[in-house]
Structure 1
Amino acid sequence: MPTRTTIYIFICIFFLLKANDSSAQKISGVVEDAITGQSIPFVNVSFGDQKGTVTDIDGKFIIEDLHSLDDIRFSCLGYYPILLKNEDINPFLNIRLHPIQYELDEINVVPGENPAVTIMRNVIDNADQHNPSLYQPYSCILYHKMIVEYDMPEEIKEEELPQLMNDLGLSKDSYLMLFESVSEKRHFKKGMDKERILSGRVSGMKNSTLASLPAMLQPFSFYDQYLKILDSDYLNPASNAGLNNYYFQLLDTIVDNKGDSIYYISYNPKPTHNFRGLTGTFHILQSDWAIKSVVAKTAGSNKGLSLYIKQNYQPNNEGLWFPHQLESSLEFKSMGSSQQLPYPLIGKGKSYVTAINTKPDFTAKDFDNVVFEDATLAQTSPDVGLYRYEPLTARDSLTYHLLDSLGKKAHLDAIINLQLSMIKGYLPAGKFQMDIRRFFDYNDFEGFKVGLGLYTSPKMSTKFSTGGYVTYGFGDKEWKYGGSLFLTPFKREENRFIIDYKDDVFATGELSFMDGIQKNSTEMFRGFLVETMDRTQEIKLGTEFRFLKYFKTGLYYRNATVTPQKRYRFMVTDEIAPAFDFQEASVRLKWAHRETFTNTALGLLSEGTPYPKVWINATYGQWEQNGTSDYQKLETQLEKTFNYPNAMYTNIRLQGAKLYGDYPSTFLYSSLGSYKSFTIFIPNSFATMRLNEFAAEQFSAVYFSHGIPLSLNTNRRIKPEIVLSTNAAWGEAPEGVSSFEKGYYESGVYFRNLLSNFIFRYGLSVHYRYGAYQLDKGIDNWAFKLGLEFAL
């Protein structure tokens, strides 16, 4: 009878043999690019009678069904296929595919229904079952990792590489940059999502300011009609509009070990259709008509950038399909049309979706309109290593070691923080910050102006900000100054109290709304064209806050003395209007249904909304000049942009305002025009109307523009755009004021993005004035302008 030790040894041997037997019953391996050595995701691995599998995002595969296995075929779009004979098959295979070095032949369309289109139509018909945006509440954790390096040409000789790397200041054993971050994604229902960066690390930096970059490069799923990529909307081939704008081709069909057919389909934008498109492949699982994997590359570059994304999907135990692995490759070729990098910069990122929870413990109250938030900016975050999906490689570790040391010596954190502050308009100075906009400015009334603005920074306190400014205008030869206090005791920066004092000059007859001009919008250049201003001493008290998620409002009280500085062009009389005092209370409201925001190191940034935006201002006031009189103002604005599958768009802005009661002429609306002999093009203004040429106590205006982008699916840095526009306005004014009650009309064309550099894009516009207020001299009805827009 065997002893206990003998039985124990026997059992161990039995399981060891069982394990060896099990491993012998399957084949695993990895597929790599024969030139670069990089793994190739989503390669078709087929054997037997159409049986097969697909490599995952890391190029790995496993074959478990070895019955009648005579050979294995490896194939992928863009590579020469390989057929592996039985005698060459081992338990572990390292397959190297050679890329095809020539362009694909012209596509030939044959009569009859394209089978690939039939398959894609089934995918679209079943999309609601597989779209994570339509699922019930769930949460998951994502680990993101990105490395940045130069994309070296293949023709560089091996012996030349060390010297070249040295010339570029590189090490062959480390990367240029390494990012890691971990985020939590929460979903309640369609339109109610939030992703929070929980932890991050960036090589060379102490803080994780830029760690959120890899998480922002690609969409979480591939089922919406438009996919937000590189800050632009790309038409999804897996959509009804995509069926009409893409060409699909069925490349292969394989059967997995469960007997399900997997269709391998390529897609490309139709050459005669101009839209923001993608090119790539799908793997479609027939049993569910679900996207099993997708490869997509932007068809052409966008602002010098090209993005290559790969997504792998798997069903969970409940049959719900979620992305499992996400990969991105961001290529940055230049810093503008004339500033080329020595070699393209490549950012290669991977994201892994883990800890999917379909029964999370949160409610709708836990969601606001901030859909992406970097929580590491406001608190000390845990070490990213606690969440790391895969261990660091030797090259990863060396990158951190070298760059952290170099970053400390070069004060990289300080440099990055300086750049971020300057983008937001400030120059940091310890616990204070200087307002860059006060350093140097210009307008037609003050001429060139210089000054200084100094305010407290978040380093002193995130609950309040105070400071002031002083400026001097060389045109009017006058000093101006002001000071303010902002109290922000709430969680959101938008909710604040305001105390403001100014002794300054302000444009006559302006119409403004809460957050009416977006950051980096061309409309901000309107201030350069002001030629009539009023000296104003005022104190303002107010509060601004957001309520009901999509409403933002402001309540204000102003007490001021206004002294006009020159004759108003719209007045018949040559006299300068007398000074007066006024006090008023006003409420401003902005409603943007479903507007969403991202909260990053650059602050709270709007992601826009597909719905119309509405603004309303209501004011009651009293003014004194030889007696006291009451007045009221009601001002409204509505704006909506319509986007089309072919990337064309239409923007419509409607404005209306009315003055009631007795009021000074200074309050008349007179700032609709933006004409100068040759100046900057200002959208949503009348390009042919002279500055303060007309005024109105009540008016309505419509601004219509239609954009036609060109050369979208090309690699050209310059992608021109034609913008057709028509503007019209009708106004009424009291006697003695030039107005436009008969209707003011103009039309024009703006040739956008004709030239560009890293900071600006340039264009040209021409507009023509017609109707009752057409001028006698023909050339005076034309306006020629330079287009100037921020490229970032």
Structure 2
Amino acid sequence: MLLSFVYLSIFSQSKIIVKSSGDQSVISNASVTCNNKLLGRTDASGVLNFRSKCNKVEVSAKGYFEDDVVVDKVMEVFLAKADPKTKNIQTVILEDKSDPRALEILRKINENYKQNSPLSLDSYSFKSYEKISLDFDEDSIKAYNAYIANRIDSLKSLPEQPMKAQERKDSLESVNLMKLVGKSKMFLWERASQSLYSKKYGEKTNILDNKIAGLKEPIYELMAFRSNRNVIPKEIKEENRNLYRFFLTDSIEIEGRQNYVIRFRQVDYKQAVNRRKFNGYLYVDKETYALKKIESNSKIKSEGSITSIWKPIENKWFLVKENYKLKMGSTSFDTEDSSDKNKSKEEKEADKNARKKFGSYAFATADYFDFKTPIEEKPQDFKGYTIDVKNSDGNLIDQYRTENLTDREVTTYSKIDSLSSKYKLDQKAKALTGLLKGKIRVGMVDFDLARIIGYNKYEHFRFGAGAKLNEKFNKYISPDAYFAYGIYDKDFKYGVGVDIRTTLQKNSFFRVEYFDDVMAAGRFSENLWNFRMKIMNSGVALNNGVFFGYEGFKVSYENDITNGLTVNVAAKRTQEESKFAYDYKGLGSQFDVTSSTITLKYSPNSKNIMTPTGKYTYEQSLPEVYLNYEQGFKSFDGDFNFSRFDALFVHNFKTKLGVTGVRAYGGIIVGDAPIWKNFTMNGLGKGNGGLNFNLTSYLGFATMEGGEYYNDKFVGAYLTHRLPWYFKSFGKNVSSFDFIYRGTIGDMKNPEFHQFEFKKLDHLYNELGLEWNNFLSSQFNLGFFYRVGHYNTPKFKDNFAIQFKLKLLGF
């Protein structure tokens, strides 16, 4: 017992080394404090050994600016001298290029990342405790409380003004809220979870408990928040290499292992803003080239910092601690009575500059513990979606806390909870999460943002609205309806339906719907596509004026067989009619169609969580496969027997030569069917002889005229390759270039059956492109495309196209 006590006393200690940032000399007698309590002072060698439960400690020394550091086994802090005559104006004299030795170490970090990652193990498990809050920093809290006290005293001294009852009530509530912010945080959320991994069964996360100040119901989308534990930090990613300059400055021993110390700074960090030469540092294990620790600070210290710490377990490096502080903005208050309207413009500007400003920050801490590897791999432990919620009422969270709540945090729960019903915090939180899915939530109704406005060549502008009753109406039954009006065709379209869930544990429901609407002919199936993919492909028919109308009903059933496999089966009966001059085999342009469809989606690496509103995919990972098979019947008064099949495969992979993306797709239809059951080749061009300028789409061709080609069978490919060359124009974004190839080929067996003007595409159609990602540091990609091969024409502008793409849409 005595030996154990001595062991714990020695090895639970932390060691801090304090040096001068100028000449790297040690600083003795530096104070190390936690919450204003002195933990000790450094000795003659600049070293202090101490024990503390604090996550962060403050370091100060006479003649130097203060700094803080996240507590670890070994810490190294560099303090800058506080001589304003020299340091405040001193230019940082560093070469504007990285140290080749540091770059070589970074290359080896990336090269060995997979080998060092816990994901290279056969299995493991661990628990985590995470806490996120929104608050002032310590200095602002004191200043804020002092300001509020003075403000209230000054208001009391003013002559009492006649006020209406509501105005007086609002004034009192405003003062109470100002006082509340001084005593508690603005937001507080805690989560405890258990993470499992098996090479055979994949990842699984069990939410052990969850608690949010002011909310009675959990926010499942927030529960799916992902840390960076299996992600390479952005500071060392190859594509961000040109944003920083790296310097190998030191080596240090931590827990018996030697580490390289690499310091880095932003490329535009030319002067010692806030007395700092570097934005952060990396500790790299010499033996394995694994990250031991990273601290990354904003260019201006007060704007935030991020610290992550790893430790080796079974020769793999597990993340054990994260600490974030990010500035979210500033709150300002008038120091003068705003009722004085007779002030000059200059006086008003002076008042604006004199307003008190208090910085608000997002704070996040995470502790990972109870590591086990290997573990017993039971199939039942990995069933269901990636995230399972075991408990979410907050009653068990104190069992998993790795530190006690502060008085301010305890006050946050009691005070914010009391305001929740008054200010309808639950409803507002649900409304914000609805926006993630393209919906606006008002009580028990979700309004579909995608149906408000649209544009196509047949209707021109299309205005409408869509609404769906959510789980507040009924957990199992959810009716919905929409309507739309086309400006050009001057006609109304509508649809009504209802979903009936069979369980609340996963995505499983029946659907019945009736509709009367129009659609571009030959659209590729988008069944089970997610919201982002549909938005990206929404402009694929922008210049296709070949439309047909459809009216009828449909019955379907959808079920997630596993986390990665979804099946949808449907039967429908419709009356379909061309909206253009058309005749099929002398039978006219209006037909009755009876068919059944089966759709499969396989997405083995995507991560999902079940919420009261349905399944939420919080991380879409490739590869993905989509299969559709539709069978038409002459029975049930149908006019045609036909079989229609289409498939889409999406994947990307990274090599030393860059990142390659693959999108392969195709389709075939056999039997009798009108032209709109066949496949259009997804041209995006206008075909009017002018410059082709369009927005990118998921399956479209920039240089092809819209609605020009139709096939009854085809295959297509979309290939993109990102060059491993990253550069910076201006701003904070890194730019790169993608080479793009799009190609398709097919045939039409009996084009004479379809009496309208079109072409079959029976030779290989090729277009090559170069896309500039983050064009001029914006959030847009700019692409230039040129048609080559059989369909190339003598005129340059006929073969050339320019495309814009919102980067958020991704590959």
Q: Shared topology, TM-score over 0.5?
A: yes
Answer yes or no: is the 8 Å Cα contact 1:581–1:625 preserved in 2.
Answer: no
TM-score (norm 2): 0.70
| 1:400 shift after superposition | 3.7
> Distance in 2 between the 1:463 and 1:418 partners?
20
What does the per-residue CA deviation read over 1:214-273, in whole Å, with 9 as the maximum and x for residues that have no partner? x8453336xxxx53x6xxx77669xxx99xx996736133476xxx354352265998xx
> Distance in 2 between the 1:279 and 1:596 partners?
34
Q: Relative to structure 1, is the Cα distance of residues 164 and 562 closer, same or farther in structure 2, using a 3 angstrom cutoff?
A: farther
Question: Which residues of 2 match residues 322-471 of structure 1 at below 5 A?
Answer: 322-331=318-327, 346-356=361-371, 363-368=378-383, 370-373=385-388, 380-382=393-395, 384-471=397-484
The letter for the 2-side match of 1:294 is K
The letter for the 2-side match of 1:79 is L
Answer yes or no: is the 8 Å Cα contact 1:580–1:625 preserved in 2.
Answer: no
Partner of 2:710: helix, strand, or coil?
Answer: coil
Answer yes or no: is the 8 Å Cα contact 2:386–2:607 preserved in 1.
Answer: yes
| 1:772 shift after superposition | 3.1
> Distance in 2 between the 1:577 and 1:36 partners?
88
Match of 1:596 in 2: 607
Q: Relative to structure 1, is the Cα distance of residues 190 and 704 closer, same or farther in structure 2, using a 3 angstrom cutoff?
A: same
Which of 751, 771, 774 is residue 735 of structure 1 equivalent to? 751
What does the per-residue CA deviation read over 1:689-708, in whole Å, with 9 as the maximum and x for residues that have no partner? 12211111111222222345
Which of 576, 591, 598 is residue 580 of structure 1 equivalent to? 591
Match of 1:519 in 2: 532
| 1:206 shift after superposition | 3.5
Q: Relative to structure 1, is the Cα distance of residues 115 and 664 closer, same or farther in structure 2, using a 3 angstrom cutoff?
A: closer
Q: Relative to structure 1, is the Cα distance of residues 298 and 27 closer, same or farther in structure 2, using a 3 angstrom cutoff?
A: closer
1:631 aligns with 2:652: no
> Distance in 2 between the 1:319 and 1:698 partners?
53
> Distance in 1 between the 2:660 and 2:149 partners?
49
Match of 1:640 in 2: 651
Match of 2:684 in 1: 674
Question: Unaligned regions of 5+ residues in structure 1, if any?
Answer: 1-14, 62-72, 83-97, 272-277, 335-341
The letter for the 2-side match of 1:587 is I
Answer yes or no: is the 8 Å Cα contact 1:563–1:580 preserved in 2.
Answer: yes
The letter for the 2-side match of 1:578 is S
The letter for the 1-side match of 2:768 is S
Q: Relative to structure 1, is the Cα distance of residues 657 and 163 closer, same or farther in structure 2, using a 3 angstrom cutoff?
A: same
Answer yes or no: is the 8 Å Cα contact 1:198–1:381 preserved in 2.
Answer: no
Match of 1:141 in 2: 127
Match of 2:159 in 1: none
Match of 2:311 in 1: 313
1:766 aligns with 2:784: yes
> Distance in 2 between the 1:599 and 1:35 partners?
50
Match of 1:297 in 2: 296
Match of 1:58 in 2: 55
Q: Relative to structure 1, is the Cα distance of residues 135 and 773 closer, same or farther in structure 2, using a 3 angstrom cutoff?
A: closer
Answer yes or no: is the 8 Å Cα contact 2:507–2:558 preserved in 1.
Answer: yes
Q: Relative to structure 1, is the Cα distance of residues 582 and 124 closer, same or farther in structure 2, using a 3 angstrom cutoff?
A: closer
- Relative to its length, the structure with more helix (as a share) is 2
The letter for the 1-side match of 2:771 is Y
> Distance in 2 between the 1:191 and 1:713 partners?
41
1:177 aligns with 2:190: no
| 1:478 shift after superposition | 1.4
Question: Which residues of 2 match residues 210-221 of structure 1 at below 5 A?
Answer: 212=222, 216-220=225-229
| 1:104 shift after superposition | 7.5
1:609 aligns with 2:607: no
Question: Unaligned regions of 5+ residues in structure 2, if any?
Answer: 20-29, 59-72, 152-173, 268-277, 331-356, 687-691, 753-757
What does the per-residue CA deviation read over 1:417-472, in whole Å, with 9 as the maximum and x for residues that have no partner? 11222332333343333333334333221233333433221112332322322322
Match of 1:541 in 2: 555
Match of 1:67 in 2: none
Match of 1:475 in 2: 488
> Distance in 2 between the 1:689 and 1:541 partners?
36
Supply the RMSD in Å over aligned alpha carbons.
Answer: 5.5
Q: Relative to structure 1, is the Cα distance of residues 25 and 265 closer, same or farther in structure 2, using a 3 angstrom cutoff?
A: closer
1:495 aligns with 2:508: yes
Match of 2:660 in 1: 650
Which of 254, 261, 270 is residue 265 of structure 1 equivalent to? 261
Partner of 1:526: helix, strand, or coil?
Answer: coil
What does the per-residue CA deviation read over 1:52-109, in whole Å, with 9 as the maximum and x for residues that have no partner? 9798883579xxxxxxxxxxx9972543599xxxxxxxxxxxxxxx999975733999
| 1:38 shift after superposition | 7.7
Partner of 2:599: helix, strand, or coil?
Answer: strand
Q: Relative to structure 1, is the Cα distance of residues 645 and 490 closer, same or farther in structure 2, using a 3 angstrom cutoff?
A: farther
> Distance in 1 between the 2:717 and 2:315 partners?
51
Answer yes or no: is the 8 Å Cα contact 2:438–2:448 preserved in 1.
Answer: yes
Q: Relative to structure 1, is the Cα distance of residues 503 and 140 closer, same or farther in structure 2, using a 3 angstrom cutoff?
A: same
Partner of 1:682: helix, strand, or coil?
Answer: coil
Question: Which residues of 2 match residues 161-310 of structure 1 at below 5 A?
Answer: 162=147, 171=181, 173-189=183-199, 192-209=202-219, 212=222, 216-220=225-229, 227=232, 249=248, 251-254=250-253, 260-266=256-262, 281=281, 283=283, 293-297=292-296, 308-310=306-308
Q: Relative to structure 1, is the Cα distance of residues 217 and 557 closer, same or farther in structure 2, using a 3 angstrom cutoff?
A: closer
The letter for the 2-side match of 1:325 is K
Q: Which shows bigger deviation, 439-448 or 692-701?
A: 439-448
Number of residue pairs matched? 699
Question: Which residues of 2 match residues 58-77 of structure 1 at below 5 A?
Answer: 58-59=55-56, 76=76
> Distance in 1 between the 2:299 and 2:383 partners?
35
> Distance in 1 between the 2:725 and 2:428 partners?
37
> Distance in 1 between the 2:647 and 2:280 partners?
46
Q: Relative to structure 1, is the Cα distance of residues 641 and 433 closer, same or farther in structure 2, using a 3 angstrom cutoff?
A: same
